[in-house]
């Protein structure tokens, strides 16, 4: 996984990408006059990989944990 943070005077944009290069997760931390706000990204992301047994959703061994 790689993480990218874009920073300017009023916000920080966080994005996380797996080896596939498709967005996995992201958020925006925005500074406003009255407070700071965390905003979820409004763009397509890959499906979460959630395991509920020994076999994951792709048929492989379940090694992922809930995020």
| Predicted pLDDT at 12 | 92
Inter-residue contact 24 to 4 (CB < 8 Å): no
Render pLDDT for 9-48 as a digit per residue (tens, 0 to 9): 999 999 888 888 888 888 899 998 888 888 877 666 666 6
Cα separation, 46 vs 27, in Å, equals 15
Q: Which residues contact 40 (CB under 8 A, 6 or more apart)?
A: 26, 27
The tokens of 3 are what? 């993480």
Distance, C-alpha 16 to centroid of its chain: 5
Q: Which of 14 and 1 is assigned the larger pLDDT?
A: 14
Nearest to 24 by CA among 14, 16, 32, 33: 16
């Amino acid at each position: 996984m790689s993480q990218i943070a874009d920073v300017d005077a009023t916000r920080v944009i966080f994005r996380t990408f797996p080896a596939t290069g498709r967005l996995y997760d992201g958020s925006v931390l925005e500074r406003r006059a009255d407070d700071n706000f965390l905003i979820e990204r409004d763009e397509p992301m890959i499906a979460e990989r959630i395991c509920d047994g020994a076999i994951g959703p792709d048929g492989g061994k379940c090694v992922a944990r809930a995020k």
